[in-house]
Amino acid sequence: MSSSVAGLVEQVVDTGRYPITEPGSAAWSAAVERVRAELEHDGCSVLRDFVRPSRHDDLRREGVAVAPEAHYDVEVVNAYNIDPGTPLPDDHPGRIALERRNAFVARDRIPPDALVHRLYTDPDFQRFLAACCGLPEIHELADPLAGLVLNVVRPGMDHPWHFDTNEFAVSLLTQQAESGGVFEYCPGIRSAESENVDDVRAVLTGGGEHLIRRLPLRVGDLQLFRGRFSLHRVTPVAGDTARHTAIFAYSARPGVVGSVSRTAQLFGRVTDAHRLAEGQAVRGDTLLD
């Protein structure tokens, strides 16, 4: 790694607490083991102030600058992000209609010199995340829009209950809402072998309070999360400030590109890369979505 890149990482990341530039060191291994243990036990791990407090204003400013590029399209969805017309039993939670009212800034609208973009492509950051997820390596998505996004939840809006497509999600809060905008999740509510529709239905209908955990997040906090198996949402944002979160998407294999339908839903557009990759997706489990 060049000294200029190393300098960037050390300026942005609190490498005293999270020594991502020292793979294999005792401190690096301890940090990795802590994250792995929390992911195994709680389905989630938060690295507080992963980005140095001195750079928090930079994160906010860069997010605010690109937020107007977010694609907004309030639509009726379900927790599985599948076609609402998909044939399902009458009592299946996939038939419960939800309103998606958040928005996404696509990767090609985020400047390459933005802190989140430089972190996303940094080899030491990727190596650290791969180790935390128990993988030999991870790859940036080949998707030109979805690899790195800024999730924007405006005041009065929310991100409804849903499951992720990827097993692991990595995110970084860049702007906190004045109130509301709380991350809620149900760790391990389903598995690769079982949808556990009874518990999912209970949460979606307001009867699964005992299954829900609430996680306060602050600017600069890095979150690793098993979002494919944990139902989760962001509660409605209140006040005058939008909630911004950078989402880093990686895959265990190279060349991953999102589907045409899902890409159009999130970004309002598709590229030739999406059209060429259509129908080539490889599923890692037999879950509904």
User: What are the helix (H) ranges across the chain?
Assistant: 3-12, 26-42, 56-66, 115-120, 123-132, 197-204, 260-267, 272-277
Q: What's the confidence (pLDDT) of residue 280?
A: 75
Segments of the chain scoring below 70 in pLDDT = 1-7, 281-285
The answer as to whether 79 is a domain residue is yes
**239 is written with which tokens?**
């006040």
Cα dihedral 284/250/157/266 (nearest 10): -70
**Total structural domains within the chain:** 1
The answer as to whether 282 is a domain residue is no
CA distance 54 to 213: 30
- According to DSSP, residue 108 is labeled G
CA 5 vs CA 12, 49, 191: distances in Å: 11, 20, 39
Can you state the angle between helices 26-42 and 123-132, rounded to 10 degrees? Answer: 50
Q: What's the confidence (pLDDT) of residue 133?
A: 94
CA angle 278, 164, 261 (to 5 degrees): 30
Q: What's the confidence (pLDDT) of residue 6?
A: 52
Residue 182: give its domain's CATH number: 2.60.120.620
The answer as to whether 68 is a domain residue is yes
Q: What's the confidence (pLDDT) of residue 152?
A: 96
Full residue range of the structural domain in which residue 40 is found: 3-277
Nearest to 151 by CA among 123, 126, 171, 122: 171
- Residue 173 host element (H or E): strand 169-175
CA distance 66 to 109: 7
The answer as to whether 289 is a domain residue is no
pLDDT tens-digit readout, 230-285: 999 999 999 999 999 999 999 888 998 988 988 888 899 999 999 998 877 666 66
pTM of the model: 0.92
The answer as to whether 211 is a domain residue is yes
- According to DSSP, residue 51 is labeled B
The answer as to whether 285 is a domain residue is no
Give 275's strand partners: none
Q: What's the confidence (pLDDT) of residue 164?
A: 87
The secondary structure of 72-100 as a DSSP string is ---EEE-TT-S-TTS---TT-GGGS-EEE
Contacts of 209 (CB under 8 A, 6+ apart): none
Q: What's the confidence (pLDDT) of residue 259?
A: 86
